[in-house]
């Protein structure tokens, strides 16, 4: 998938999950392409992926409509993916990291570090970040040393937010998203360090935590920190 397709996918996915696009709403290739300022080709790819994930469905005519997805469905998908990713990280730590995997993980970490070190957040940094994020997660899943883990993952890969490296991105507030994604980058460094040192328990625990970030960290960092005023925080602290 091209970087433009990945960006469209991440943004529209986030809009659906946070209710900006309501169930039954019509989505068209032309409309999304114009909104995201991209060509129709990457838009078509992104919409096909969203349909495969079950977030939208094809209309009898042209376009798609947003499906009604319960938070329970999303949470279940992420829980299963997190368990498999945690097992993959533990297995790679126990087996030892292949040179090809080490090179790929270091490449991913270096790329996201360059993206996040930019002086000013740019909404387009999402393109590069998502590519590197997918590389990190796919490397651990498919090079962990146990093909049955990847086989089990592929059975649930197209459920909502089950795709490796899935991101839900709020393009309207890149500075806030930069802070949130910086946490994910830091966790990648910790996971890599644990696998490199063959600390299986630490690698497993951190990957399990990290795999829940797409859903949980959006609430934690957006609602509880950045959308809470300074006065509210001071009042809450005084009442504790």
CATH code of the domain containing 191: 1.20.120.530
Are 76 and 180 in the same domain?
yes
Beta bridge partners of 56: 66
End-to-end CA distance of the chain: 48
Are 121 and 64 in the same domain?
no
What total number of domains does the chain contain? 2
pTM over 0.85: no
Asked whether residue 229 is assigned to any structural domain, the reply reads: no
Instruction: Report pLDDT for 124.
Output: 61
Are 194 and 183 in the same domain?
yes
Instruction: Report pLDDT for 216.
Output: 56
For residue 21, what are its two tokens? 């696009």
Residue-number span of the structural domain to which 54 is assigned: 3-68
Asked whether residue 193 is assigned to any structural domain, the reply reads: yes
Are 52 and 75 in the same domain?
no
Picking from 37, 68, 99, the residue at the C-terminal end of a domain is 68
Nearest to 134 by CA among 105, 158, 165: 165
Instruction: Report pLDDT for 240.
Output: 39
Asked whether residue 144 is assigned to any structural domain, the reply reads: yes
Are 59 and 144 in the same domain?
no
Asked whether residue 238 is assigned to any structural domain, the reply reads: no
Nearest to 123 by CA among 165, 83, 169, 187: 169
Contact between 134 and 188 (Cβ < 8 Å): no
Asked whether residue 231 is assigned to any structural domain, the reply reads: no
Are 20 and 104 in the same domain?
no
Asked whether residue 239 is assigned to any structural domain, the reply reads: no
Are 139 and 209 in the same domain?
yes
Instruction: Report pLDDT for 212.
Output: 83
Are 53 and 125 in the same domain?
no
Exposed/middle/buried for residue 70 (C-beta within 10 Å: 0-12, 13-18, 19+): exposed
Asked whether residue 167 is assigned to any structural domain, the reply reads: yes
- C-alpha to C-alpha distance for 107 and 105, rounded to whole angstroms: 5
Beta bridge partners of 66: 56
Mean pLDDT by 10 residues, the chain (240 residues): 80 84 93 92 91 87 86 83 96 97 97 81 68 93 97 85 75 74 93 98 96 63 41 41
Are 56 and 114 in the same domain?
no
Are 157 and 185 in the same domain?
yes
Are 75 and 63 in the same domain?
no
Are 19 and 125 in the same domain?
no
For residue 175, what are its two tokens? 């500075």
CATH number of the domain at 27, please: 1.10.10.10
Picking from 49, 68, 87, the residue at the C-terminal end of a domain is 68
Asked whether residue 185 is assigned to any structural domain, the reply reads: yes
């Amino acid at each position: 998938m091209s970087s433009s397709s990945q960006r469209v996918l991440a943004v529209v996915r986030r809009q659906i999950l946070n209710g900006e696009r309501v169930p039954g709403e019509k989505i068209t290739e032309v409309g999304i392409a114009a909104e995201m300022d991209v060509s129709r080709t990457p838009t078509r790819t992104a919409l096909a992926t969203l349909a495969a994930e079950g977030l939208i469905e094809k209309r009898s005519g042209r376009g798609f409509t947003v499906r009604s997805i319960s938070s329970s469905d999303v949470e279940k998908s992420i829980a299963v993916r997190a368990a498999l990713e945690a097992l993959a990280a533990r297995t790679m730590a126990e087996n030892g990291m292949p040179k090809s995997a080490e090179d790929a993980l270091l490449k991913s970490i270096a790329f996201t570090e360059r993206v996040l070190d930019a002086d000013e957040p740019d909404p387009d940094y999402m393109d590069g970040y998502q590519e590197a994020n997918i590389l990190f997660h796919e490397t651990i899943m498919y090079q962990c040393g146990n093909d049955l883990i990847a086989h089990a993952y592929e059975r649930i890969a197209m459920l909502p937010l089950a795709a490796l490296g899935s991101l839900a991105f709020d393009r309207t507030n890149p500075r806030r998203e930069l802070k949130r994604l910086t946490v994910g980058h830091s966790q990648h460094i910790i996971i890599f360090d644990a696998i490199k040192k063959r600390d299986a328990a630490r690698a497993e625990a951190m990957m399990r935590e990290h795999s829940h970030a797409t859903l949980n960290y959006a609430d934690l960092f957006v609602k509880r920190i950045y959308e809470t005023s300074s006065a509210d925080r001071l009042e809450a602290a005084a009442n504790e």
